[in-house]
Structure 1
Amino acid sequence: MDIRDNPQKQRFEALLADGAVAVAEYRLSPGKIIFTHTEVPPEHEGEGIASALIRFALDSARARELEVVPLCPFVAAYMKKHAEVRDLLAPEWRFKLGFA
């Protein structure tokens, strides 16, 4: 699996061996990355692809010093489960997710 940022389409992409693509869509605003949607092809659900994709996307956000706004429920759930990435949350989202 090859994961990359596709800034032209505003999404992170996981290119799968069978040619399918999983995506984590985002929008950028000053100092923030807003994750709006994550989708894995149905035939690949349960393989850990979405988690790998979001881990890559959050590493990218950290490297770019961007705060994360997890509008996508999967990204929010991932960040709730993984304490090591909670510092990336935009302040208002720390409160919304119960980490204020």
Structure 2
Amino acid sequence: MEVKHTSTVIYTVLPDNSKAFIRYKVENNIMKLLETYTPPQHRGKGIAGMLMDYAIEMARKNGYLVEPICSYSIYYFIKHKELRDILAEPYRSMSDEELKKLFEKRLEEEKSKEGE
């Protein structure tokens, strides 16, 4: 799968022509990961992780730090401790427990937005 990006979206076109993506914005050399989406029929296949890998590589190439805002991006850094050096503060200094609490809070916020 080929991953591409614009100034606000990292994405890949899937075999059924649907798209998986990460919405982001860069402010003051911080890449803010705002939203991650994979169509339901393609979830659990590692696509969001592949997009996150691309985002981190892009951040490193451009000298950005990363601010994980959406629940998936927080979850990704819970699972990949070895990549936390790319995180902006205060995320870089958070313990596993603090990141897990933040993940649960963001997940709850996102679920409540879906219901609006």
Q: TM-score, normalised by structure 2?
A: 0.77
**Structure of larger gyration radius:** 2
Gaps of 5+ in 2: 97-116
- Which of 30, 40, 44 lines up with 2:28 in the alignment? 30
Which structure's relative contact order is higher, taking Cα pairs within 8 Å and 6+ residues apart? Answer: 1
Give the fraction of aligned pairs with identical amino acids, expressed as a percent.
30
Kindly provide the CA deviation profile for residues 38-84 of structure 1, in whole angstroms up to 9, marking residues without a partner as x: 00011111111101111111111111110100001111111121123
Partner-residue secondary structure (3-state), 1:18: coil
Deviates more, 1:82-91 or 1:37-46: 82-91
**Does residue 1:54 correspond to 2:52, yes or no?**
yes
The residue aligned with 1:4 is: 4
Deviation, 1:19, is 0.9
Deviation, 1:31, is 1.1
RMSD over equivalenced CA pairs, Å: 1.2
Q: Higher helix proportion, which one?
A: 2
Partner-residue secondary structure (3-state), 1:47: coil
d(CA) in 2 for partners of 1:94, 1:80: 11
Alignment of 1:72-83 (within 5 A): 72-83=70-81
The residue aligned with 1:65 is: 63
- State how many pairs are aligned: 96
Asked if the contact 1:2–1:16 (Cα under 8 Å) also holds between the matched residues in 2, the reply is: no
Q: TM-score, normalised by structure 1?
A: 0.89
Partner-residue secondary structure (3-state), 2:90: helix
Gaps of 5+ in 1: none
